Amino acid sequence: MSKKPKGLAVLQGKCPQCHQGDLFTHGAYNLRNFTKVNEHCSHCGVRFEREPRFFDGAMYISYALSVGLFLVSAFIIYMLFHPVSENVYLIAIISEVFLLYPLMFRYSRIFYLYIFGGLKFQPELEEKENN
């Protein structure tokens, strides 16, 4: 089995410990279920919610991502279209937040788990086959 780079595991929302099991139960644009996190990793069995209400802290990451998105968008609009009315900024940013919300929600949880979850990648778990 090939070794998956950490960046790819983060991008795909995989378990920090084995880079195989999925953190989320459904796809990002399954609007009913995109927030649902698996209780345990299906591959190595580690518990994703490290302690009760663990993922509440992901709010801070979500906030940082939103501010980053806001700044980058405003900069791009300014560089490409200046001068435009404030409404253009407003509409662009509101639509981005709306469209990207599922991704922002999920990546804030993924980043939070990778940074504060206290889970170290264990390559021997990655190679273990499910059978």
- Which parts of this chain interact with Zn ion (CB under 5 A)? 15, 17-18, 21, 41, 43-44
d(CA 17, CA 114): 9
Phi-psi region of 52 (alpha: psi -120 to 50; beta: other; left: phi over 0): beta
CB of 79 to Zn ion, least distance (A): 42
For residue 63 the two structure tokens come to 């906030």
CB of 6 to Zn ion, least distance (A): 13
CB of 19 to Zn ion, least distance (A): 7
Specify the residue, 47 or 60, whose C-beta has the smaller distance to Zn ion. Answer: 47
d(CA 54, CA 29): 23
CB of 22 to Zn ion, least distance (A): 9
Specify the residue, 15 or 65, whose C-beta has the smaller distance to Zn ion. Answer: 15
Specify the residue, 13 or 21, whose C-beta has the smaller distance to Zn ion. Answer: 21
Whether 37 contacts 13, CB under 8 Å: no
Contacts of 117 (CB under 8 A, 6+ apart): 16, 48, 50, 54
